[in-house]
Structure 1
Amino acid sequence: MSERISVAKTYKLYVGGAFPRSESGRVYPVADSRGTFLANAALASRKDARDAVVAARKAFAGWSAATAYNRGQVLYRVAELLEGRREQFVAEVSAAEGAQTRRAQSIVDAAIDRWVWYAGWTDKLAAVLGSANPVAGPYFCFTTPEPTGVVAVLAPQRSSLLGLVSAVAPVIATGNTCVVVASQDRPLPAITLSEVLATSDVPGGVVNVLTGRTAELAPWLAAHADVNALDLTGAPEAQRVELERAAAGTVKRVLRTPTTEPDWSAQPDLGRLRAFVEAKTVWHPVGV
Structure 2
Amino acid sequence: MSDRLTVLKTYKLYVGGKFPRSESGRVYEVTDSKDKWLANAPLSSRKDARDAVVAARKAFGAWSGATAYNRGQVLYRVAEMLEGRKSQFVHEVAHAEGLSKSKAAEVVEAAVDRWVWYAGWTDKIAQIVGGANPVAGPFFNLSTPEPTGVVTVVAPQESSFLGLVSVIAPVIATGNTAVVVASERSPLPALALGEVLATSDLPGGVVNVLSGRTREIALPLAAHQDVNAIDLSGADADLARDLEIAAADNLKRVLRPQPVDGDWSADPGTHRLTAFLEMKTVWHPTGTLGASGSAY
* TM-score, scaled to structure 1: 0.97
1:169 aligns with 2:169: yes
Gaps of 5+ in 1: none
* Residue matched to 1:91: 91
State, as a whole percentage, how many aligned pairs show the same letter. Answer: 69
Is 195-204 or 126-135 further displaced after alignment?
126-135
* Residue matched to 1:143: 143
Partners of 1:218 and 1:235 within 8 A in 2: no
Partners of 1:8 and 1:38 within 8 A in 2: no
* Residue matched to 1:23: 23
Secondary structure of 2:262's counterpart equals: coil
* Residue matched to 1:191: 191
Which amino acid is the alignment partner of residue 166 of structure 2?
S
Is 220-229 or 127-136 further displaced after alignment?
127-136
Query: How far has the Cα of 1:268 moved from its partner?
Result: 1.1
Secondary structure of 1:18's counterpart equals: coil
Partners of 1:10 and 1:42 within 8 A in 2: no
Which amino acid is the alignment partner of residue 99 of structure 1?
L
Secondary structure of 1:249's counterpart equals: helix
Per the alignment, do residues 259 and 30 of structure 1 end up closer, same or farther by CA in structure 2, a change over 3 Å counting? farther
Q: State how 1:41-56 maps to structure 2 within 5 Å.
A: 41-56=41-56
* Residue matched to 1:281: 281
Work out the CA distance in 2 between the residues paired with 1:134 and 1:188. 51
Query: How far has the Cα of 1:237 moved from its partner?
Result: 2.5
* Residue matched to 2:200: 200
Query: How far has the Cα of 1:225 moved from its partner?
Result: 0.3
Gaps of 5+ in 2: 291-296
Work out the CA distance in 2 between the residues paired with 1:24 and 1:180. 18
Q: State how 1:108-119 maps to structure 2 within 5 Å.
A: 108-119=108-119
Partners of 1:152 and 1:178 within 8 A in 2: yes
Query: How far has the Cα of 1:112 moved from its partner?
Result: 0.4
Work out the CA distance in 2 between the residues paired with 1:270 and 1:242. 27
Could you report, residue by residue, the CA deviation over 1:119-174 in whole angstroms, capped at 9, with x for unpaired residues?
A: 00000011111011111111100000000000000000000100000000000000
Secondary structure of 2:11's counterpart equals: coil
Q: How many residues align?
A: 288
Q: State how 1:1-288 maps to structure 2 within 5 Å.
A: 3-258=3-258, 261-287=261-287
Could you report, residue by residue, the CA deviation over 1:86-143 in whole angstroms, capped at 9, with x for unpaired residues?
A: 0011111111111111111110010000000000000001111101111111110000
Work out the CA distance in 2 between the residues paired with 1:113 and 1:2. 38
Secondary structure of 2:250's counterpart equals: coil
Query: How far has the Cα of 1:52 moved from its partner?
Result: 0.1
Which amino acid is the alignment partner of residue 194 of structure 1?
G
Work out the CA distance in 2 between the residues paired with 1:219 and 1:11. 23
Secondary structure of 1:151's counterpart equals: strand
Q: Moved runs in structure 1, 4+ residues, more than 2 A?
A: 1-10, 258-261
Which amino acid is the alignment partner of residue 132 of structure 1?
A
* TM-score, scaled to structure 2: 0.95
Work out the CA distance in 2 between the residues paired with 1:68 and 1:265. 25
Q: CA RMSD in A?
A: 1.4
Secondary structure of 1:202's counterpart equals: coil
Work out the CA distance in 2 between the residues paired with 1:66 and 1:185. 35
Partners of 1:215 and 1:236 within 8 A in 2: no
Work out the CA distance in 1 between the residues paired with 2:33 and 2:60. 37
